[in-house]
A and B are shown apart, each in its own frame.
Chain A
Amino acid sequence: MILHIDMDAFFASIEQAVNPRLKNKPLIVGSRNNKMHTVVCAASYEAKALGIDSGMPTKEAFALCPHLEFVPADQTKYIWTSEQIFGVIKESGFTAFYSSIDEFQLDIKEAADPAGIASRIREDINRSFGITASIGIAKNCLLAKLASKLRKPDGLFLIDEDNIKKALAETPAARLCGIGPRTQEALSALGVKTCLDLYSQTPQLLERVFGANGLNLYAGLHSNETLPEDNHADNRPKSIGHSYSFPRASENTGFINAWIRLLSEMVARRLRAHDLTARTVHLWLNGPQIGGFSAQKTFQEPSQDASELYARTLRIMAKIGQKHPKIRALGVTASSLETPKYPALFREAKRREELIRSLDKINGRFGEDTIFPSQIMLTRKIR
């Protein structure tokens, strides 16, 4: 059996624990300080009841509820709490899986009392952090996740052979993870309205309509799943990327380039932390004139040097063909990753490597933003 542990309104609940005066109030956590120019990245259940949810521009949220409480996101707090919760979950002794910052899975195999285990985990989390979690239990991850949604917040729901048909018959297919609007449309055409309708379809039919995804969906619904014993066995990433959205579109080349430099620095720092180099650099941009632009280039010489990644990214950017395009969001990703094979040959390259090593040492000792290229200051100065 799989336990899916889903934290309830995670960021908002933590902020309510930090400041109990915010409890039982409609609260949103914004991704930036500027409360009218950001998006909701979490909403308390009181705010959700007013129709406010993640992804909504804060302007819209305040239009719905002018007395909404606002707190800017503090990732440090959320990541620390998430890691501590994962620690609590692992203490159960079963195989645990870190799904996302606020979702965890536990493979309890054939344990005798799944609901008892889930209750103890919920109590431990609530006692240690003052926040609540909803837990779903089922034979596989997909159904366990669905079960966790069905009794939110602070709920516990077990789907087993005795109640599976009833539980699925009462749940619209759209609530199942992975069923988006297009899939929902295709399912409606098949007459599939509830999860039970979907559960009753044959793998052949699902494959005919959705291809390989249909088969995966069938397996996801019907399989008896187990989690791998060590899901961090191969911890090496296939790609490393960072992206950022501006509060508003900008055509200031200095500002945009500074952000590309910053994202390149972040990518390169993580490459070096994994002792990897990248051959391929991928850039994506989004703006009102260019729409979504995405291009990548593979270079002969792999690199883990941020200034080199930055120079390569600028070469890709030149492909847009516009001098000063308005940009709203951008991302830099490095792929074709490999371990460094040869030491630097020439004196200049050796000096550069030594410099980077020294900079990493300084940032490792005093904190990540201690020393950085001055160009990055432009991310703060101009818009």
Chain B
Amino acid sequence: MKPKGFNPHARWDRHIPQGGAPQDSGLVNERIEVLALFRQAKIYPRLFIWRDKIYRIRRLNYNWQERRGRELINFFSVDTGSDLYQISFNNETSGWRIDKII
């Protein structure tokens, strides 16, 4: 008999609290201003302003989403030419954040 299909929603890590201090030294978690293009249900960030400095996005490396309750967070790995950053857009609050320097 064919086994039942994989269920990606049977998440094992959803409730598991991450113990201890995060080892990721690049964590930032600050609000930023972003110029982005919203086209055909997709988001293309073009530049962001962080601590009064403008960062032009040369390349969008990857993007993914996470649902947290009613909030849908869109994550982006972006390349400014000199550094890589993870920024995110919250559909519920329409707010942008810089999560970390990758």
Contact = CB atoms under 8 A, between A and B. Distances in A.
Interface in B37-91: 61-62, 64-66, 68-71, 75, 77, 79, 84, 86
Given A366-B70, A372-B15, A380-B18, 6 more contacts: A17-B62, A33-B23, A75-B12, A81-B64, A369-B17, A380-B20
Interface in B4-26: 4-8, 10-20, 22-24
Interface of B: 2, 4-8, 10-20, 22-24, 61-62, 64-66, 68-71, 75, 77, 79, 84, 86, 102
23 contacts: A18-B62, A19-B77, A20-B84, A33-B18, A34-B23, A76-B64, A77-B75, A97-B2, A99-B5, A100-B6, A228-B2, A232-B4, A234-B4, A243-B12, A262-B15, A262-B16, A262-B17, A269-B15, A364-B70, A366-B71, A367-B71, A369-B15, A379-B17
Given A79-B8, A101-B8, A231 B68 contact: no
Interface in A91-120: 97-101
A196 B35 CA distance: 60
Contacts of B61: 17-20, 130
Contacts of A76: 64, 66
Contacts of B64: 76-77, 80-81
Given A19-B102, A21-B84, A266 B20 contact: no
A100 B69 CA distance: 25
Contacts of A33: 18, 20, 22-24
A230 to B, nearest CB: 10
A14 B70 CA distance: 26
Contacts of B17: 262, 369, 376-377, 379-380
A221 B44 CA distance: 47
Interface of A: 14, 17-21, 33-35, 72, 75-77, 79-83, 97-101, 129-130, 227-228, 231-232, 234-235, 240, 242-244, 262, 265-266, 269-270, 363-370, 372, 376-377, 379-380
A187 B4 CA distance: 29
Contacts of A228: 2
Contact of B6 (A77, A98, A262): A98
Contacts of B70: 364-366
B62 A270 contact: no
A231 B5 contact: yes
Contact of A367 (B12, B22, B68, B79): B68
Contact of B14 (A34, A243, A368): A368
Given A266-B15, A270-B10, A367-B68, A19 B2 contact: no
A370 B69 contact: yes
Contact of B66 (A80, A100, A101, A227): A80
B78 to A, nearest CB: 10
Contact of A231 (B4, B16, B19, B86): B4
Nearest to A226: B2
Contacts of A18: 61-62, 77, 86, 102
Contacts of A100: 6
Closest 7 CB pairs of A and B: A367-B68, A367-B69, A98-B5, A366-B69, A80-B64, A18-B77, A98-B6
A1 B84 CA distance: 43
Nearest to B75: A77
Task: Give the most central of A75, A82, A129, A269: most B CB within 10 Å.
Answer: A75
Given A19-B77, A33-B22, A75 B2 contact: no
Contacts of B102: 18-19
